[in-house]
């Protein structure tokens, strides 16, 4: 099965959506996205961490080091209020585009 | 908040890069570990864990790349871009060292003179006065003729007498503190050190309290020490004097110091940061101790007043209150002679810190350096346009392959800012040198002794490069870089440039004002304004220097002595003077020696009333005022002032004979027009006349005592032998360099009386130099600025002509091939440049006629519309244009049609 790579903007949107459900570390974010997408969407670490840094640089996400269940220290990410606002805007836009694409593809 | 969160994150990444990288690595290790564990679990094989780890790592990708990627994401991207742009620019400048050097030197000149002049403005006008809440400090003064509109600090302002000041102090309700001070020089002795002459301030009122300065040890003066004659004499010394003469010992407090022959008890030491409102005082003495007579003399005007506004009172209210009280003071102590009505005025101390004339010339110079800066910008912008035109292909390629225009403009502006920063660095060196020159020329420092209102005397105005002036230079460099960089950047990245790729060499647009041409016209016009201005100032200075002062200043050494510092010398002043003259005359190298009470070109001397007993009597109030001088008989010969009628003083003029008076030619013509003044009786208000009548025995040539540009005055000379003064100036005519005699003269003076030291030892040339200091200050600096702008404008014209020749070589070659004459080629090559020069000159002259009007108050013997100056300006500009055109013209003349066409 070939997996679909994600554009930077899309990945950011998915990360924000994932973090909207709770505080997670990077690996868990990737797992969450891959699991919910039934392994169709691949989250490469090479794009995950830069994306997380971008999100932090934009102030949409903050992070904090905490002990993970395995006992190791891990960085846990939290979505910020402005991150949620951005997510809302992205979701509206995504719904509009997705619906439009779907209409065109179905040819109705 | 998101902005703050994001900024904090970036800052952390930027400021703690090692930690940031380490955390990133930890995080990725954690990720890898979980990934490996997950795979091992999925395969159910513990040994597969290693494989899984490698697989995970493979999936993870190149770690270093990841780090770099992350850094790019987080760091301030623009900072990185600027850095890369700057490196790129630096590389390209290294490839064109000639261009780069010219630009940087041009900028260094423009920024350097601006920084230097700014530091003068800052020191003399802008820097806050070094006192606590100095904005509350006011200068209070008397005003002559009741005209208070111009107020304190203007030429109308007069210093106080103690009784008049006391009236102000007691009647006012607008100030919390008031004090007065008079600049003075005293001889100090009495400890184990040799007697020396130092600057002092004689103070009254609450001088220190008004300025809010406190002694570092000891105390301030007590009220009774200040205003009660006969109170024990006290003194406060400066920290420097305390260290020098008392080894900074606390024992100095309570010990005595001999001030002008009287013991004073030291009660305090002032910090080194404070040197009084004169800026030079080393010792402070109460008026009551030094000049007790002044406490009651309503017309002994010697003291400048300073006051601190009471809380809640503004300057305007204080000014009107002082005016009202001024009228009352005048009513209580009316002017004794004439009908003058006097008043009082107050204005912020800050506004009186320099002489209005110096303020004016500083503003003129500031205007001039701004013009220099504009020319600098125009010139560098012109050079950058030429550079941009050589880089058209590079720019076109970059635009074509998708570089955005803003990105390219940013690159080009980065280049220009980089250049201006380099120029700015060099400029700081230049400014440092300039500041030393300014400090040497500083007219405020030479004029301060002459302006006794105290306020030109304010001289905590050392011109220096400090943090403020350096920030000014830095800001100026950046702004300049943006200003001169933007035009070429906008022009150089026009989208139409893509055409540059398609044609190997576009044919240039001819005629009309291109950006480059417009810049050079502006440069020339502004240079003409400066040339005309500096021409006027130089002609004015020449006129001033050409004024005959009435004496011969060359090879004359002058020094001052004051016998009041020694009671024995004071008791027998005539004898002391006689011995002094004998002692210094016998020094090898001295050809003549004489005394006078007041040196020429000093800003004025003693004045008193005159009465002519052989005329109808005039009321005392209407007596005319004349200047009086006490001189020794040889003074006229020593200074080479001609005796045009009668005789000079002689041994026969003694205390027992009738007072002899020598009058100046102007005085003779004024009081005895068409008649011989010799033998006429005169009476003067001073000089030991005691209502005796003197007689005119001689007429001397006019001497300029006040300044070179003031008309000769009605001066009267009296003989020292008939009425002495405690202070005198010794004049020595020397055979060789007068400076070589300094040491031996000082020794000779000390040998006559060890307690009467020589001070203020200077050549007469030096003193005369002070009289032209202010004119020199303006003229020399304006000339330097004009020269710089002329140089820059010449480079500008050269640039225009040589670019025009370079781009038209092909056309010229073809024309030569078709038989054009040499003259024709020259006209073709130079036409554009010359027409720009003519246009610039015309605009410049129009501008100069308007601009030089501000100079009129600074000019002497020349009108702002002086035709000679304008003719000279045009001639200089013409010569500069020719100089700029020579090289390109020769290049055009050598145009070889074959080669030019082959190159095509």
Residues in chain A closer than 8 A to B9 (CB atoms): 56-57, 59, 62
Predicted pLDDT of residue B150:
38
Predicted pLDDT of residue B307:
94
Mean pLDDT score across all residues of chain A: 84
**Dihedral (C-alpha) B750, B751, B754, B757: value to the nearest 10 degrees?**
-10
Predicted pLDDT of residue A102:
86
Q: State the pairing for strand pair A24-25/A73-79.
A: antiparallel
The number of beta carbons lying within 10 Å of the beta carbon of residue B863 is: 11
B341-366 mean pLDDT:
81
| Percent with pLDDT over 70 in chain B | 87
pLDDT top residue among B251 and B64: B251
Q: Which of B3, B10, B27 sits opposite A49 (nearest CB)?
A: B27
d(CA B409, CA B386): 16
Query: Would you place residue B149 in the very low, low, confident or very high pLDDT band (cuts 50, 70, 90)?
Result: very low
pLDDT in tens, B449-495: 444 444 444 454 567 788 888 888 888 888 888 888 887 788 777 76
φ/ψ of B554, rounded to 5, equals -70, 145
Q: How far apart are the first and last CA of chain A?
A: 30
| Count of all residues that appear for chain B in the document | 904
Q: Do B60 and A25 touch (CB under 8 A)?
A: no
Tell me how close the Cα of A99 comes to any Cα of chain B, in angstroms: 31
Tell me how close the Cα of A89 comes to any Cα of chain B, in angstroms: 15
What are the distances in angstroms from CA B484 to CA B216, B363, B395, B516?
52, 25, 19, 12
Q: Burial, B592: exposed, middle or buried (Cβ in 10 Å; 0-12, 13-18, 19+)?
A: middle
Asked which of A82-96, B21-35, B686-700, B831-845 is least confident by mean pLDDT, the reply is B686-700
Asked which of B14-28, B55-69, B515-529, B770-784 is least confident by mean pLDDT, the reply is B55-69
Q: Do A59 and B30 touch (CB under 8 A)?
A: no
Residues in chain B closer than 8 A to A81 (CB atoms): 1-2
Predicted pLDDT of residue B514:
66
β-partners of residue B348 are B138
What are the tokens at B89?
């620019």
Predicted pLDDT of residue B654:
81
Whether B473 and B424 have beta carbons less than 8 Å apart is answered as yes
d(CA B8, CA A100): 39
B389-408 mean pLDDT:
76
**Does any CB of chain B come closer than 8 Å to the CB of residue A78?**
no
Question: What is the phi-psi region of residue A81: left when phi exceeds 0, alpha when psi lies from -120 to 50, beta otherwise?
Answer: alpha
Alpha helices, DSSP H, located in B203-355: 207-211, 223-227, 239-246, 287-290, 315-332
* A66, closest residue in chain B (CA to CA): B27
Tokens 């109170």 appear where?
Answer: B231
Whether B600 and B703 have beta carbons less than 8 Å apart is answered as yes
Number of Cα atoms under 13 Å in the Cβ half of residue B176:
14
Query: Would you place residue B309 in the very low, low, confident or very high pLDDT band (cuts 50, 70, 90)?
Result: very high
Interface of B with A in 12-31 (CB under 8 A): 13, 23-24, 26-28, 30-31
**Does any CB of chain B come closer than 8 Å to the CB of residue A39?**
no
Tell me how close the Cα of B78 comes to any Cα of chain A, in angstroms: 14
3-class SS of residue B5: helix
Residue of A8, A28, A51, A57 best to disrupt the B interface, most CBs of B under 10 A: A57
Whether B719 and B676 have beta carbons less than 8 Å apart is answered as no
Q: State the pairing for strand pair B625-631/B715-719.
A: parallel
**Does any CB of chain A come closer than 8 Å to the CB of residue B54?**
no
Alpha helices, DSSP H, located in B515-566: 515-546
pLDDT in tens, B242-262: 999 999 999 999 999 989 888
Chain A and chain B share a number of CB contacts under 8 A equal to 86
**Does any CB of chain B come closer than 8 Å to the CB of residue A56?**
yes
Tell me how close the Cα of B79 comes to any Cα of chain A, in angstroms: 15
Query: Would you place residue B504 in the very low, low, confident or very high pLDDT band (cuts 50, 70, 90)?
Result: very low
Q: Do B74 and A59 touch (CB under 8 A)?
A: no
From the list B106, B543, B110, B103, the residue with the least C-alpha distance to B368 is: B110
**Is pLDDT at B567 greater than 80 in this prediction?**
no
Q: Which of B4, B62, B70 sits opposite A53 (nearest CB)?
A: B70
Q: Burial, B175: exposed, middle or buried (Cβ in 10 Å; 0-12, 13-18, 19+)?
A: buried
**Does any CB of chain A come closer than 8 Å to the CB of residue B67?**
no
**Is pLDDT at B9 greater than 90 in this prediction?**
no
d(CA B766, CA B768): 5
Q: Burial, A21: exposed, middle or buried (Cβ in 10 Å; 0-12, 13-18, 19+)?
A: exposed
What are the tokens at B718?
């009296």
3-class SS of residue B728: strand
Predicted pLDDT of residue B72:
58
B820-849 mean pLDDT:
84
Whether B100 and B419 have beta carbons less than 8 Å apart is answered as yes
**Is pLDDT at B770 greater than 80 in this prediction?**
no
**Is pLDDT at B76 greater than 90 in this prediction?**
no
Q: Which of A45, A56, A60 sits opposite B61 (nearest CB)?
A: A45
What are the distances in angstroms from CA B346 to CA A32, B148, B314, B827?
81, 9, 11, 66
B560-579 mean pLDDT:
83
Mean pLDDT score across all residues of chain B: 82
Q: Do B24 and A49 touch (CB under 8 A)?
A: yes
pLDDT in tens, B623-668: 788 888 989 999 999 999 999 988 999 888 888 888 899 999 999 9
Residues in chain B closer than 8 A to A74 (CB atoms): 27, 30
Predicted pLDDT of residue B491:
75
pLDDT in tens, A49-72: 888 888 888 889 999 888 887 778
**Is pLDDT at B736 greater than 70 in this prediction?**
yes
Asked which of A44-53, B249-258, B505-514, B701-710 is least confident by mean pLDDT, the reply is B505-514
- E-state strands within B735-867: 759-763
B194-202 mean pLDDT:
87
**Is pLDDT at B509 greater than 50 in this prediction?**
no
Q: Do A73 and B3 touch (CB under 8 A)?
A: no
Q: Burial, B181: exposed, middle or buried (Cβ in 10 Å; 0-12, 13-18, 19+)?
A: buried
What are the tokens at B639?
């200074």
Residue of B3, B4, B6 best to disrupt the A interface, most CBs of A under 10 A: B6
Task: List CB contacts of B270: < 8 A, sequence separation 6 or more.
Answer: B213, B215, B216, B236, B237, B238, B239, B284
Query: Would you place residue B68 in the very low, low, confident or very high pLDDT band (cuts 50, 70, 90)?
Result: low
Predicted pLDDT of residue B412:
82
d(CA B648, CA B697): 7
* A52, closest residue in chain B (CA to CA): B70
Asked which of A8-22, B55-69, B260-274 is least confident by mean pLDDT, the reply is B55-69
pLDDT in tens, B105-114: 888 988 998 9
Element (H, E) at B145: none
3-class SS of residue B591: strand
Query: Would you place residue B75 in the very low, low, confident or very high pLDDT band (cuts 50, 70, 90)?
Result: low
B131-154 mean pLDDT:
69
The number of beta carbons lying within 10 Å of the beta carbon of residue B772 is: 21
3-class SS of residue B319: helix
- E-state strands within A39-90: 61-67, 73-79
The structure's pTM equals 0.69
Residues in chain A closer than 8 A to B74 (CB atoms): 53-54, 56-57
Query: Would you place residue B339 in the very low, low, confident or very high pLDDT band (cuts 50, 70, 90)?
Result: low
pLDDT top residue among B174 and B69: B174
3-class SS of residue B344: strand
Asked which of A29-43, B311-325, B455-469, B887-901 is least confident by mean pLDDT, the reply is B455-469
pLDDT in tens, A1-27: 445 666 777 888 999 999 988 889 988
pLDDT top residue among B687 and B36: B36
Asked which of B378-387, B642-651, B799-808 is least confident by mean pLDDT, the reply is B799-808
Q: Which of A49, A74, A80 sits opposite B66 (nearest CB)?
A: A49
- Concatenated DSSP letters of B170-225: HH-SSEEEEEEEEEEEEEEESSSSPPEEEEEEEEEESHHHHHT---SEE----HHH
Q: Do A46 and B27 touch (CB under 8 A)?
A: no
pLDDT in tens, B209-239: 999 999 999 999 998 898 888 889 999 999 9
Q: Burial, B774: exposed, middle or buried (Cβ in 10 Å; 0-12, 13-18, 19+)?
A: buried
Predicted pLDDT of residue B310:
94
Helices and strands, number each (H, E), in chain A: 4, 3
pLDDT in tens, B354-377: 767 777 888 888 888 998 888 888
Predicted pLDDT of residue B175:
95
**Is pLDDT at B82 greater than 50 in this prediction?**
yes
Query: Would you place residue B42 in the very low, low, confident or very high pLDDT band (cuts 50, 70, 90)?
Result: confident
Predicted pLDDT of residue B640:
94
* A62, closest residue in chain B (CA to CA): B5
What are the distances in angstroms from CA B878 to CA B97, B635, B710, B874, B882?
30, 52, 37, 6, 6
Interface of B with A in 72-91 (CB under 8 A): 73-74
Predicted pLDDT of residue B689:
61
């Amino acid at each position: 099965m070939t997996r679909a790579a994600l554009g930077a903007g899309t990945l950011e949107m998915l990360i924000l959506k994932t973090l909207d459900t709770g505080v997670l570390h990077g690996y868990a974010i990737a797992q969450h996205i891959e699991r919910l997408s039934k392994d169709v969407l691949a989250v490469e670490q090479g794009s995950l961490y830069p994306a997380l840094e971008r999100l932090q640089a934009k102030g949409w996400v903050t992070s904090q080091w905490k002990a993970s269940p395995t006992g190791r220290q891990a960085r846990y990410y939290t979505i910020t209020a402005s991150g949620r606002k951005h997510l809302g805007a992205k979701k509206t836009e995504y719904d509009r585009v997705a619906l439009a694409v779907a209409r065109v593809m179905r040819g109705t | 908040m998101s902005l703050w969160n994001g900024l904090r994150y970036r800052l952390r990444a930027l400021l703690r890069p090692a930690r940031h990288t380490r955390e990133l690595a930890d995080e990725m290790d954690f990720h890898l570990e979980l990934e490996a564990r997950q795979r091992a679990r999925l395969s159910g094989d513990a040994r597969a864990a290693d494989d899984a780890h490698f697989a995970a790592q493979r999936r993870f990708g190149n770690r270093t790349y990841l780090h770099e990627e992350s850094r790019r994401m987080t760091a301030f991207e623009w900072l990185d871009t600027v850095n890369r742009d700057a490196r790129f620019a630096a590389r390209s400048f290294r490839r064109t060292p000639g261009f780069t050097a010219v630009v940087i030197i041009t900028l260094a000149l423009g920024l350097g003179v601006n920084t230097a002049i700014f530091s003068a403005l800052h020191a003399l006008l802008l820097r806050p006065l070094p006192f606590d809440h100095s904005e509350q400090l006011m200068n209070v003064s008397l005003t002559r003729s009741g005209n208070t509109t111009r107020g304190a600090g203007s030429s109308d302002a007069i210093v106080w007498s103690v009784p008049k000041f006391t009236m102000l102090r007691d009647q006012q309700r607008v100030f919390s503190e008031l004090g007065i001070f008079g600049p003075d020089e005293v001889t100090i002795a009495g400890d184990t050190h040799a007697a020396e002459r130092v600057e002092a301030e004689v103070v009254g009122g609450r001088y220190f309290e008004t300025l809010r300065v406190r002694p570092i040890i000891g105390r301030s003066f007590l009220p009774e020490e200040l205003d009660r004659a006969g109170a024990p004499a006290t003194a406060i010394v400066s920290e420097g004097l305390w260290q020098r003469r008392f080894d900074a010992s606390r024992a100095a407090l309570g010990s005595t110091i001999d001030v002008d022959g009287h013991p004073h008890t030291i009660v305090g030491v002032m910090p080194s940061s404070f040197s009084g409102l004169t800026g030079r005082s080393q010792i402070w003495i109460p008026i009551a101790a030094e000049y007790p007579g002044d406490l009651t003399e309503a017309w002994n005007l010697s003291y400048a007043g300073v006051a601190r506004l009471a809380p809640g009172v503004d300057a305007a209210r204080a000014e009107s209150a002082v005016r009202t009280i001024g009228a009352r003071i005048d009513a209580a102590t009316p002017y004794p002679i004439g009908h003058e009505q006097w008043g009082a005025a107050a204005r912020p101390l800050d506004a009186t810190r320099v002489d209005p004339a110096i303020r004016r010339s500083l503003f003129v110079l500031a205007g001039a350096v701004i013009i220099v800066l504009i020319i600098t910008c125009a010139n560098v912008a012109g050079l950058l346009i030429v550079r941009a035109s050589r880089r058209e292909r590079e720019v076109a390629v970059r635009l074509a392959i998708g570089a955005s225009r803003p990105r390219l403009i940013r690159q080009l502006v980065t280049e220009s800012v980089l250049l201006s920063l380099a120029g700015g660095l060099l400029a700081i060196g230049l400014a440092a040198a300039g500041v030393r020159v300014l400090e040497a020329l500083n007219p405020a420092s030479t004029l301060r002794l002459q302006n006794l209102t105290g306020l030109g005397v304010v001289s905590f105005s050392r011109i220096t490069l400090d943090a403020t002036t350096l920030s000014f230079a830095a800001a100026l460099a950046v702004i300049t870089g943006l200003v001169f960089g933007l035009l070429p950047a906008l022009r150089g990245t026009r989208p139409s440039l893509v055409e540059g790729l398609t044609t190997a060499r576009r044919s240039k647009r001819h005629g009309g004002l291109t950006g480059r041409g417009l810049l050079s016209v502006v440069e020339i016009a502004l240079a003409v304004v400066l040339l005309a201005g500096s021409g006027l100032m130089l002609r004015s200075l020449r006129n001033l220097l050409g004024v005959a002062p009435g004496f011969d200043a060359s090879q004359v050494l002058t020094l001052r002595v004051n016998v009041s510092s020694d009671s024995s010398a004071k008791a027998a002043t005539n004898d002391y003077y006689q011995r002094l003259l004998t002692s210094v005359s016998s020094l090898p190298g001295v050809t003549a020696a004489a005394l006078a009470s007041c040196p020429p070109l000093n800003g004025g001397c003693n004045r008193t009333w005159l009465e002519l007993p052989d005329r109808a009597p005039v009321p005392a109030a209407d007596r005319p005022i004349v200047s009086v001088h006490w001189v020794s008989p040889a003074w006229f010969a020593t200074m080479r002032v001609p005796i045009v009628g009668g005789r000079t003083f002689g041994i026969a003029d003694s205390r027992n004979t009738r007072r002899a008076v020598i009058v100046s030619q102007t005085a003779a013509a004024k009081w005895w027009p068409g008649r011989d003044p010799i033998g006429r009786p005169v009476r003067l208000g001073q000089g030991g006349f005691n209502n005796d009548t003197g007689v005119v025995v001689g007429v001397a040539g006019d001497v300029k005592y006040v300044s070179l540009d003031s008309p000769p005055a009605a001066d009267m000379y009296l003989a020292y032998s008939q009425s002495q003064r405690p202070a005198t100036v010794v004049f020595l005519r020397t055979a060789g360099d007068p400076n070589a005699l300094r040491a031996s003269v000082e020794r000779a003076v000390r040998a006559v009386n060890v307690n009467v030291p020589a001070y203020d030892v200077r050549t007469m040339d030096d003193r005369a130099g002070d009289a032209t200091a202010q004119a020199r200050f303006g003229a020399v600096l304006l000339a330097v600025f004009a020269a710089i702008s002329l140089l820059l404008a010449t480079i500008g014209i050269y640039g225009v002509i040589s670019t025009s020749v370079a781009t038209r070589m092909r056309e010229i070659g073809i024309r030569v091939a078709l038989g054009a004459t040499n003259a024709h080629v020259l006209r073709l090559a130079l036409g554009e440049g010359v027409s720009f020069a003519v246009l610039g000159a015309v605009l410049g002259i129009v501008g100069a006629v308007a601009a030089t009007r501000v100079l009129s108050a600074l000019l002497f013997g020349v009108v702002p519309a002086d035709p000679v100056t304008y003719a000279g300006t045009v001639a200089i500009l013409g010569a500069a244009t020719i100089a700029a055109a020579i090289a390109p013209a020769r290049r055009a003349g050598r145009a070889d049609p074959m080669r030019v066409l082959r190159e095509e």
